[in-house]
Amino acid sequence: MKDGRWVTIADSQFPHEKQGLEIVKALLPDAPPFRAWANFEFRDNRGRWHEVDLLVLARDCLYLIELKHYRGILTGNDHVWLRSGHRAEDSPLLLTRRKAQYFSSLLKDSLRQLTGHAPKGAGPLRPGTGVPAQPRVRL
C-alpha cells in the first residue's frame, strides 16, 4: 500500500511495531476503498483515551488491529494467554474488542451529530490482534 492510502499519525518508538506495520502495509491492496491509519489515539464518549496501532478500511468494514511482538508458542483462550517461558497474561483480544466497540460508538455518535439521525446499515468494526513475529499460534 502506498503512502497516499497509508497515514502514519505518530511514529512508533518500538522497532518490532515498526516492522509489524511495514509487513501489514506491504500486504494491503493499493486500491480503493482500502486505507490505513497507524498509531493514533482517540478519546471515547466517557473521556478515556485509547491507543490504536492500526485502523484499516476494507471493502466490508473497518478493522482495528492491535500488534503484539510475541515469540514462542501461545496457548489460551479469549481471556488468558500463556506464552512458553512466561507467566499467564490477560489476552489482548478482549481489550481490543472493547476498544473497537468504543471507537464504533464514537463514530456512530459523530455521524449522528453531523447528519441529525442515527446511521443505518453501517458496516461492522472488527477487532484483530496481530502477532507478526509469531510463526505458530495455538488458541
Q: Which residue has the higher pLDDT, 72 or 37?
A: 37
Best CA proximity match to 42, nearest among 15, 16, 9, 69: 9
Digit-coded pLDDT (tens) for 62-99? 899 999 888 788 888 888 988 887 889 888 888 899 99
- Kindly list the structural domains of the chain, giving each domain's residue range(s) and its CATH number in brackets, ordered by start: 6-130 (3.40.1350)
Give residue 71's pLDDT: 79
Mean pLDDT within 21-44: 94
Percent of the residues in the chain that have a pLDDT greater than 90, as a whole number: 43
Give residue 122's pLDDT: 57
Give residue 57's pLDDT: 93
| Residue 3: band (very low, low, confident or very high) from pLDDT cuts 50, 70, 90 | confident
Res. 124: pLDDT tops 90: no
Res. 134: pLDDT tops 50: no
Res. 114: pLDDT tops 90: no
Beta bridge partners of 55: 37, 64
